């Protein structure tokens, strides 16, 4: 699933490419993704609206539109937005531009297309069809249950200027109340927004904390190290334009670069890059993998 750095990368590119444009039309082969409206009503509501700006809440992409509406897209497990051109052939979108949007097989599962006023489209590639689309009043967007219950943002970014950003003191307060394993707490979007499986592993590797430690048992120095590592890792990943170990691609259909920088995630059996003599180990926590160095992560 695209995590905070991947979504932040998409949002920054959306502001460069589509802010100021209008939606002209919408196409879909999977209308179930539209959660707030019947398809005909959704199409009527977005048609002609101008895109004012893009921002993000956790892993949700938000496009503020003219006349007080906000379009929200959750890419879920296998989805990603693309900016390009497609034509419909035999009922399916076919890329009409050269480059990775056309050649990368992960970019070919277009379920939805937003037609833009400059002749381009926003395509939503989603092989598993788990993505969600919402449209609501900008002033009431937090009323959508999935949005309103989210925890604070772990790092300040231009796209989170409207939302609560986590401080060290608030982080300590949260963690000391949680009795679960540290990795699971970091991944809970209703506790801290936007950190998923990949970056939880990476954060704990940098912090020197085992994913098997209970959150409420961490000492203040360890909590400070984890908090510092949250910002370090997420900022590194944003700079690298996200992690394309699996399905995620940038708005141009290209690979992100963080998979080349991984220290723990998917590094099972590799020597720890701390050069401490450790070998990265994989364990299963609540049906999710955790990767860590048993030497320096205590």
Q: Is residue 274 flagged as an active site residue?
A: no
pLDDT classification of 139: cutoffs 50, 70, 90: very high
Check whether residue 173 and residue 135 sit in a common domain.
no
Residue 275 lies in a domain: no
Catalytic-role residue among 17, 59, 111, 184: 59
Range of the domain at 120: 4-148
What CATH code is carried by the domain that includes residue 207?
A: 1.10.8.50
Average model confidence (pLDDT) across the chain: 96
CA dihedral 191, 192, 193, 199 (to 10 degrees): -130
- Over residues 203-232, the mean pLDDT reads 98
- Over residues 184-194, the mean pLDDT reads 96
pLDDT classification of 237: cutoffs 50, 70, 90: very high
- Over residues 155-172, the mean pLDDT reads 84
Task: Report d(CA 154, CA 226) in Å as an integer.
Answer: 11
Q: What is the structure's pLDDT at 43?
A: 98
Catalytic-role residue among 129, 228, 274, 288: 288
Q: What is the structure's pLDDT at 162?
A: 55
Q: Is residue 241 flagged as an active site residue?
A: no
Check whether residue 91 and residue 129 sit in a common domain.
yes
Residue 68 lies in a domain: yes
Catalytic-role residue among 3, 8, 153, 202: 3
Check whether residue 127 and residue 186 sit in a common domain.
no
For 18-27, 72-81, 143-152, 212-221, which range has the lowest pLDDT when averaged over its residues? Answer: 143-152
Check whether residue 186 and residue 68 sit in a common domain.
no
Q: What are phi and psi of 101, to 5 degrees?
A: -60, -30
Query: What is each CA distance from 26 to 15, 32, 122, 250, 269, in whole angstroms?
Result: 20, 14, 10, 21, 47
Q: What is the structure's pLDDT at 220?
A: 98
Residue 59 in this model has a pLDDT that exceeds 60: yes
pTM: 0.95
Check whether residue 121 and residue 215 sit in a common domain.
no
Q: Is residue 32 flagged as an active site residue?
A: no
Check whether residue 18 and residue 119 sit in a common domain.
yes
Residue 293 lies in a domain: no
Contact 277, 295 (CB under 8 A): yes
Catalytic-role residue among 2, 93, 100, 152: 2
Q: Is residue 173 flagged as an active site residue?
A: no
Residue 132 in this model has a pLDDT that exceeds 70: yes
- Pick from 125, 148, 171: which residue ends a domain? 148
Residue 189 lies in a domain: yes
Task: Report d(CA 88, CA 260) in Å as an integer.
Answer: 36
- Pick from 115, 148, 181: which residue ends a domain? 148
């Amino acid at each position: 699933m695209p995590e905070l750095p991947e979504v932040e990368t998409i949002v920054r590119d959306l502001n460069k490419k589509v802010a100021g444009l209008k939606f002209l039309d919408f196409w879909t082969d999977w209308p179930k993704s539209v959660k707030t409206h019947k398809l005909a009503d959704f199409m009527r509501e977005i048609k002609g609206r101008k895109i004012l700006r893009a921002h993000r809440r956790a892993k949700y992409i938000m496009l503020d539109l003219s006349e007080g509406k906000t379009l929200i897209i959750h890419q879920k497990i296998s989805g990603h937005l693309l900016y390009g051109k497609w034509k419909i052939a035999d009922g399916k979108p076919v890329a009409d531009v050269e480059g990775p949007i056309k050649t990368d097989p992960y970019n070919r599962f277009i379920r939805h297309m937003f037609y833009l006023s400059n002749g381009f489209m926003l395509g939503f590639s989603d092989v598993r069809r788990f993505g969600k689309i919402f449209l609501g009043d900008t002033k009431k967007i937090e009323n959508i249950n999935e949005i309103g219950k989210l925890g604070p943002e772990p790092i300040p970014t231009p796209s989170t200027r409207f939302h609560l950003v986590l401080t060290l003191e608030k982080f300590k307060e949260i963690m000391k109340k949680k009795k679960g394993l540290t990795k699971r707490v970091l991944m809970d979007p209703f506790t801290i927004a936007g950190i998923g499986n990949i970056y939880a592993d990476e954060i704990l590797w940098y912090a020197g904390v085992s994913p098997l430690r209970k959150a409420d048992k961490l000492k203040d120095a360890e909590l400070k190290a984890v908090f510092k590592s949250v910002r370090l890792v997420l900022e590194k990943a944003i700079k690298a334009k996200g992690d394309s170990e699996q399905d995620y691609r940038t708005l141009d259909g290209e690979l992100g670069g963080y998979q080349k920088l991984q220290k723990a995630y998917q590094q099972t059996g590799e020597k720890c890059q701390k050069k401490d003599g450790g070998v990265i180990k994989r364990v299963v926590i609540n049906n999710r993998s955790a990767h860590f160095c048993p030497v320096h992560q205590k």
